[in-house]
Structure 1
């Protein structure tokens, strides 16, 4: 009986094995026979998936400035790229096999290959279905902590690097909230601010950095608009500035922000535009030409001074490097650079105009024209003239205006000692009154207040502890131009150090004051009348 059972088991096993072998063989034969069909199907499905990917990529590119892709789309796209890569490998392999005679392609190899085609085809179909993204695959981009701006290199210019390092040090102090960068127009304040914005430490210190330009032509509403754009706030339907301010405040609440305000002309109520006091180390850094602005916004003030003569010449050289080595141009180039008053903005503007001049005669003519500015218009210097004229007009007090113009009698960049200048103002009757008691002391006090005001609005440069002041060349040229239009303030300072001793009688007759400081003058006309 045991023998019968064993025989039956063996018989059934053999039958099952036979059936399995038969089924396996049939499957392999079917797969082998359907290889061409599976290949064509794979090609068609791959084209559909590639088209879908292309459409999505075009959509992503179209909205790349404001939108980004979802995480699910990113995962899907990686799977698509990998699957299409595998499909391409199989297609290439099929093309290679087609070059061989059919009988050399083994049945098992064909069936295995056909099975892979079938599986890849199923993966592609699944990806096409998953790629419908009914909920969409684009979302608003998260706010970047810092938007980089184009910033001139300041490496090698300590006069610009030093204030930047001072600002960075102050930003590490959580107790400070406002930092002012103060100096005359063109001294490099905006350049420092741009380098601050791009500094690698800034992105680590703050959740968001907001850059906004604030000048006389821009309103607080425009400033709110710029801040709203930076924060990606939808404020089209918000009409009232108070509502915009509330929206900005809510968005910044809890964030550690750095607000960079460039060209601040007057005091700003930060709360009115929506800037909250978060008490979490948030900061406001601003640039201004007017010191009085700093009193309401700044806990610390950093003054930016003009470049040193060596720095100014190096910057000018870098900007006219293509022509500076031409014969006989360097001596004239040094005189041109000197006219730039060591101000980076002027150096950039004037160097830009001169770098296209490739002959000594062109440089000489350009220098003569430059020395006549602003009597004749120089392209690129209109902004500077307009600003300085604006500062002059803002003095309002005629006495202050005449005191400012009086400073143009002294050579550019020279040290005008405070005590001496105040005595001159008093002697000229520009400060003080003739009937006042303690006339001299009162005149001196009034003169000191005027002097302080002129330095605060960047029309005069303050020397060490106000022992002396100076006027840079650009401001002096504007002052002389203004004085030439006013019969009561017409000056004669036109003699250079190398000019002849002789003065035309007409020079005396037309001038109210004549400056002969540092002049090689030995004889005077017989009569100044």
Structure 2
């Protein structure tokens, strides 16, 4: 009888020990799976994706099960401490059954969690989280006579079913990008298109990056399980959009939109229209734009209004400053890209500083600029740079100019690097 009791006790002891070990192992798997799932949901949220309800439920269930397992482990440890003095095999058996049940629950939960291991499964992009042209539109859009004329010409062309390609050209800094975004914003509000997308082309276009910019507006991922989707895939996806306007900003040369990017126009898709901005009228002609619109500079009164707003020049401004401001505005030649930063830089400055700024503009000369009419824009930008406070700020600004146009950079890294350069400079001065 004693032998049978010992044998039974030994069997129970070994069996429960195995169950305990399996439970501990499964608990570790669940902790790691929950961590991976949290990493994936964090990444999805950074991409402005909505997390699936099933994923949220799994996360809550994982926390609940892990809490229950910890409680059960405490009971098991308490039972183990009593085994040497008062072994209660029936109690131990019940704990083993609980442990086995929790092990099965964890296995089922792990199986469900693993279904969301594939990229893109944990979240989805809701319509209201897609980027819109309105988000990009300037809140300080300055309406000039030239921009009004250009705006109405473009809107009329967008309403014409026979026009699929529109070109907006003008010298650098005149405000083409701002106007194009305003057109896109108003075209959407007027219900001319279901979707309006914008992509920056730049002088050295990266066609994959351009495709990615367009794809994000139409909730289309250019990557799949086999790698990157083809130009034809984007072309077919855009054809599914009933009415869509594609704005290609800062185009420098002719581009075959169908072969290089995957944009269907004309007979391929009458519901897709393209508005491109460029510094060169020839680009509009080479791209077969049916409507070509020129955006001119601000006239004298418009330039003064914009400059006065940026520099906070009111009716009580000192006459001496007003006279210098008039000369500076004339030097800007109606270019918003020159007026805005220079006006902001001189805001709140003394009359002496205003005069110093004008002397810099008057005496400096820049050569070898491709578009000679842009010379004054460069001069004005140079003057506004001179008013940046601190060596580290100026260094950071110059570092930004080393990056490719429209390239995303981390400002913190730039500032840290700028400080590093400044410290090296100071150390060199000390050792000199």
Contact 2:45/2:51 (CA < 8 Å) preserved in 1?
no
Please tell me whether residue 318 in structure 1 is matched to residue 275 in structure 2: no
Contact 2:329/2:339 (CA < 8 Å) preserved in 1?
yes
Aligned-residue offset at 1:170: 1.6
* 1:350 paired residue number: 342
Aligned-residue offset at 1:324: 7.9
Would the alpha carbon gap of residues 202 and 180 (structure 1) be closer, same or farther in structure 2, given more than 3 Å must change?
farther
Contact 2:146/2:296 (CA < 8 Å) preserved in 1?
yes
Contact 1:235/1:244 (CA < 8 Å) preserved in 2?
no
* 2:50 paired residue number: 68
* 1:191 paired residue number: 178
Contact 2:310/2:344 (CA < 8 Å) preserved in 1?
yes
* 1:139 paired residue number: 123
Would the alpha carbon gap of residues 174 and 61 (structure 1) be closer, same or farther in structure 2, given more than 3 Å must change?
farther
* 1:249 paired residue number: 235
Q: How many residues align?
A: 283
Would the alpha carbon gap of residues 476 and 362 (structure 1) be closer, same or farther in structure 2, given more than 3 Å must change?
closer
Q: Once the two structures are superposed, what CA deviation does each residue of 1:254-288 show, in whole Å capped at 9, x if it has no partner?
A: 21321111111111100112112343321100111
How far, CA to CA, are the matches of 2:323 and 2:132 in structure 1?
A: 44
Contact 1:317/1:324 (CA < 8 Å) preserved in 2?
no
Would the alpha carbon gap of residues 236 and 60 (structure 1) be closer, same or farther in structure 2, given more than 3 Å must change?
closer
Please tell me whether residue 275 in structure 1 is matched to residue 263 in structure 2: yes
Would the alpha carbon gap of residues 58 and 193 (structure 1) be closer, same or farther in structure 2, given more than 3 Å must change?
same
* 2:149 paired residue number: 162
Return the TM-score normalized by structure 1.
0.46
Would the alpha carbon gap of residues 342 and 236 (structure 1) be closer, same or farther in structure 2, given more than 3 Å must change?
farther
Q: As a proportion of its length, which structure holds more helix?
A: 2
Q: Secondary structure at the match of 2:370?
A: helix
* 2:400 paired residue number: none
Q: Secondary structure at the match of 1:390?
A: coil
Q: Once the two structures are superposed, what CA deviation does each residue of 1:166-187 show, in whole Å capped at 9, x if it has no partner?
A: 2222212222100111111111
Would the alpha carbon gap of residues 264 and 370 (structure 1) be closer, same or farther in structure 2, given more than 3 Å must change?
same
- Which of 302, 305, 310 pairs up with 2:296? 305
How far, CA to CA, are the matches of 1:296 and 1:304 in structure 2?
A: 19
Contact 1:180/1:286 (CA < 8 Å) preserved in 2?
yes
Would the alpha carbon gap of residues 189 and 307 (structure 1) be closer, same or farther in structure 2, given more than 3 Å must change?
same
Q: Secondary structure at the match of 1:171?
A: helix
How far, CA to CA, are the matches of 2:338 and 2:225 in structure 1?
A: 40
How far, CA to CA, are the matches of 1:319 and 1:475 in structure 2?
A: 16
Please tell me whether residue 360 in structure 1 is matched to residue 351 in structure 2: yes
* 1:527 paired residue number: none
Q: Secondary structure at the match of 1:205?
A: coil
* 1:285 paired residue number: 275
* Greater RCO, CA 8 A, separation 6+: 2
Contact 2:176/2:295 (CA < 8 Å) preserved in 1?
yes
How far, CA to CA, are the matches of 1:473 and 1:341 in structure 2?
A: 10
How far, CA to CA, are the matches of 2:292 and 2:39 in structure 1?
A: 50
Q: Secondary structure at the match of 1:316?
A: helix
Contact 1:339/1:473 (CA < 8 Å) preserved in 2?
no
Aligned-residue offset at 1:473: 7.6
Contact 1:341/1:473 (CA < 8 Å) preserved in 2?
no
Contact 1:319/1:351 (CA < 8 Å) preserved in 2?
yes
Q: Once the two structures are superposed, what CA deviation does each residue of 1:302-332 show, in whole Å capped at 9, x if it has no partner?
A: 1111112111100000000168844231121
Q: Secondary structure at the match of 1:310?
A: helix
Please tell me whether residue 214 in structure 1 is matched to residue 201 in structure 2: yes
Q: Secondary structure at the match of 2:202?
A: coil
Return the TM-score normalized by structure 2.
0.55
Please tell me whether residue 296 in structure 1 is matched to residue 277 in structure 2: no
**1:39-438 aligned within 5 A:** 63-66=44-47, 67-70=49-52, 138-142=122-126, 144=130, 146-147=132-133, 148-154=135-141, 156-199=143-186, 201=188, 204-230=191-217, 231-234=220-223, 238=227, 244-255=230-241, 256-273=243-260, 274-277=262-265, 278-297=268-287, 298-321=289-312, 325-327=316-318, 328-356=320-348, 358-375=349-366, 389-391=369-371
Gaps of 5+ in 1: 1-55, 77-129, 376-384, 393-458, 460-471, 479-529
Would the alpha carbon gap of residues 238 and 63 (structure 1) be closer, same or farther in structure 2, given more than 3 Å must change?
closer
Would the alpha carbon gap of residues 331 and 391 (structure 1) be closer, same or farther in structure 2, given more than 3 Å must change?
closer
Gaps of 5+ in 2: 1-36, 58-108, 381-432
Q: Secondary structure at the match of 1:249?
A: helix
Q: Secondary structure at the match of 1:64?
A: helix
Would the alpha carbon gap of residues 202 and 307 (structure 1) be closer, same or farther in structure 2, given more than 3 Å must change?
same
How far, CA to CA, are the matches of 1:350 and 1:360 in structure 2?
A: 15
